Amino acid sequence: MEIKIEHLSYTYNPGTPFEKKALDDISLTIGKGEFIGLVGHTGSGKSTLVQHLNGLLMPTQGSVLVDGEDIAGEGYSLRQLRFRVGVVFQYPEYQLFESDVLKDVSFGPKNQGLSDEEVLARAREAMRSVGLDESYETRSPFELSGGQKRRAAIAGILAMNPQMLVLDEPTAGMDPKGREEVLDLLRQINRERNITIVLVSHSMEDVANYADRVIVIVDGKIRWDDSPSVVFTRIEELEQTGLRAPQVSYLLKDLQDKGWDLDRSAVSIDAAAQEILKALSVPGQQTGGAVEESGKDR
């Protein structure tokens, strides 16, 4: 599926003293199988934008076209759309409501009209994939720790097998291992099943490591829409918008300022490590060059 957003603007509480234009003339196309990172300062409009992707919010101006069809059109089935575009909300507690975790995770697939066995199989698989074992099935979702709630909320969306997964800060509050597991899972779903991923995140490192395309929102407008290595090398400009570059970008810039000959477009830890090793082992470079057995490391 392809989602095309055309000149979308959204205003909260129009015509009241609390009127707030949260999105201002946004146009973008999300193609099938993309892995997009959506970043922006707090209050920039990320959550407002992603709620348009499954029709939870409708544009004040402009349109959202799913495979060419306007979701605000008469007779358009938002119900069907919500099965195809799964959204994990920023605050998971708003997504959990059943009396136990298994029921909660089963809610989506059950509504899709699947058989009981299928629902159970889907729910269990989804729980397993976010690291919740059987012992959690009968636990109340409200009596879980913060990170456990987040896992349950993600499982509930995964269990619906959507064609597009939109995750609003899915790893906030997760322990580092859980965060890596969830992001790896998203990458796997994206690569193996060609599911489109839209990841909203305040972690520039996560976006640099996982996304193929980064969209930067500033005050309700798109500022940049490009590859991570292009967006994240604009360190000063990013900082002016309340963001920053991934940490390794600062290191590479620092080294470059110190006279190192290296390519700053490496934005992940592994790429940066390779760049540093390469710079150190080029023979005859600068003051007496580096390592003799250059070129042996990849």
Partner 1 sequence: MGREKIIEGSGLSYHYTVYDDEGRPAAKQTALDGVDLQVEKGQFIAILGHNGSGKSTLARHLNALLVPDGGTLYVNGYDTRNDTHVWEVRQSAGMVFQNPDNQIIASVVAEDVGFGPENMGVPTEKIWKRVEQALKMVGMWEERDASPNRLSGGQKQRVAIAGVIAMRPACIVLDEPTAMLDPAGRTEVIRTIRELNEQEKVTIILITHNMEETVYADRILVMDHGKVVMSGNAKEVFSRVEELEHLRLGVPQPALLAWKLKQKGLSLPDGILTMEELAEALEELRKNGQRGAVREL
Looking at 37, 40, 55, 162, which residue binds partner 1 (CB under 8 A)? 40
CB under 5 A: which stretch of 54-62, 76-84, 144-152, 236-244 binds Mg ion?
144-152
Number of residues forming the site for ligand ATP (CB under 6 A): 20
Q: Is 19 in the site for ligand ATP (CB under 6 A)?
A: no
Q: Per CB under 6 A, which of residues 161..200 are in contact with ligand ATP?
A: 175
Q: Is 14 in the site for ligand ATP (CB under 6 A)?
A: no
Residue of 1, 41, 6, 27 whose CA lies nearest to 200: 41
Main-chain phi, psi angles of 190, to 5 degrees: -65, -45
The token duo for 170 is: 């899915």
Spatial separation of the C-alpha atoms in residues 204 and 193, rounded to whole Å: 25
Residue with tokens 């995750």: 167
| CB-nearer residue toward ligand ATP: 83 or 89 | 89
Main-chain phi, psi angles of 256, to 5 degrees: -60, -45
DSSP calls for 167-219: EESTTTT--HHHHHHHHHHHHHHHHHH--EEEEE-S-HHHHHHH-SEEEEEET
CB 46 within 8 A of CB 31: no
**Backbone conformation region of residue 76, classed left if phi is above 0, alpha if psi is from -120 to 50, else beta:** beta
CB of 221 to partner 1, least distance (A): 16
Contact characters 121-160, partner 1, x per CB under 8 A? ------------------xx--xxxxxx--x---------
Question: Taking the CA of residue 233 as centre, how many other CA atoms within 13 Å lie in the half-sphere pointing to its CB?
Answer: 12
| CB-nearer residue toward ligand ATP: 118 or 143 | 143
Interaction partner, residue 250 (ligand ATP, partner 1, Mg ion, none; CB < 5-8 Å by kind):
partner 1
Binding stretches for ligand ATP (CB under 6 A): 12-13, 20, 22, 40, 42-48, 90, 143-148, 175
Residues that bind partner 1 (CB under 8 A): 12, 18, 20, 40-43, 47, 90-91, 93, 99, 139-140, 143-148, 151, 169, 172-180, 202, 204-205, 239, 242-244, 246-248, 250-251, 254-255, 258, 260, 269-270, 272-273, 276-277, 280-281, 286-291, 293, 296-297
